Amino acid sequence: MRVLSRAFALGLVLVFVATACTSGSATPSPTAAASSSASTRPHFDLATYEYSLQTKGKIRIGTQEDNPPFSVKNPATGKWDGFDVAYGREIAKAIFGDTDDPDKYIEYVAVTSATRIPSLTDNKADVIIKTFTINDDRKKQIDFTDVYFKTGQRILVKKDNTTINEVADLAGKTVCAQRGSTSEQNISAATSSAARLLLLDSYPACLLALQQGQADAVSTDETILFGLAKQDANTKLVGKYFSTELYGIGVKKSVGGDRTGFVDFLNRTQVAMITNGTWAKIYEQYISPVSFDKKRTPDD
């Protein structure tokens, strides 16, 4: 049953890949060469983490295999896609130089909400880019960049559901969320623990639980729910935001100065992405098809 569900969830992800993603890789810039040469490679101070990554020739990016529209691994081709993936490719280009194939410098590390922090603290990933809300609890364990995406938590139900309209209506209902997410905590807080939580390891798996009647609702960040609603016309989003979710890139805290300045470097890369229109472009490519809006910056 679990295997079947997993296969079905992957099938949903494949549908997303086919419908929402218009290209399998980052859009090449007009000047991109087939591969970055020493001349296009940025220069970093020897003591920086960016320099150590450039020397190794790889950045390990932790993201999720099935978190549309932010990150999806196509099980047939092994190719990654989505907003967070495109964002990671821009970071790779900032470290290794302009290229039409940033994936050759990226080692993708598959994470779930619950394994994000351990994959940094256990040094399995250099950065986590996976719908990762910045909060004080997490900041005690890892560092975050500036906010690169803003959303808030809402609720997804079947279209014919008339009883769940706001978060208070989740009391006594079974609500699916990803284990280890702020979504899980927010549902408990907003209902004084009166909702029954069904905790799974991906949101497509939660959609399947909703479709099969194992859950009355799925609740997480609105943009993730937009991605699920796009996959199933028999669902609808209800209620107002009952949280604010500000995403940052997660980085291991510096030990003995080994990552001094790395978060600043990532923040500068983000400023450049916003100023040169790359942020707006990847929003339009991956988010607009499910949100039906356009944004130029995370603050719009």
Binding residues for ligand GLU, per CB under 6 A?
113, 130-133, 178, 181-183, 220-221, 245
Sheet of 217-221, strand order: 196-200, 174-178, 217-221, 153-158, 235-238
Q: How far is the CB of 247 from ligand GLU (least distance, A)?
A: 6
Nearer to ligand GLU, 98 or 221 (CB): 221
Q: How far is the CB of 25 from ligand GLU (least distance, A)?
A: 23
Nearer to ligand GLU, 98 or 245 (CB): 245
> Distance between CA atoms of 99 and 201, rounded to whole angstroms?
34
Q: How far is the CB of 263 from ligand GLU (least distance, A)?
A: 18
Nearer to ligand GLU, 49 or 132 (CB): 132
**CB–CB of 81/26 below 8 Å?**
no
> Distance between CA atoms of 226 and 232, rounded to whole angstroms?
10
Structure tokens that stand for 184 in this block: 């899980």
> Distance between CA atoms of 26 and 61, rounded to whole angstroms?
15
Backbone angles phi, psi at 190, to 5 degrees: -75, -20
Give bridge partners of residue 296 from the DSSP assignment.
none
Nearer to ligand GLU, 220 or 235 (CB): 220
> Distance between CA atoms of 200 and 188, rounded to whole angstroms?
16
Q: How far is the CB of 288 from ligand GLU (least distance, A)?
A: 20
The HSE-up count of residue 136 (CA atoms within 13 Å, CB side) is 0
Nearer to ligand GLU, 50 or 221 (CB): 221
Nearer to ligand GLU, 133 or 161 (CB): 133
Q: How far is the CB of 69 from ligand GLU (least distance, A)?
A: 12
Q: How far is the CB of 120 from ligand GLU (least distance, A)?
A: 14
| Residue type for position 7 | A
Nearer to ligand GLU, 70 or 105 (CB): 70
Nearer to ligand GLU, 97 or 180 (CB): 180
* Strand 174-178 versus strand 127-128 pairing type: unpaired
Give bridge partners of residue 143 from the DSSP assignment.
251
> Distance between CA atoms of 82 and 72, rounded to whole angstroms?
6
Q: How far is the CB of 19 from ligand GLU (least distance, A)?
A: 21
Q: How far is the CB of 162 from ligand GLU (least distance, A)?
A: 27
Q: How far is CA 298 from the centre of its chain?
A: 14
> Distance between CA atoms of 181 and 32, rounded to whole angstroms?
38
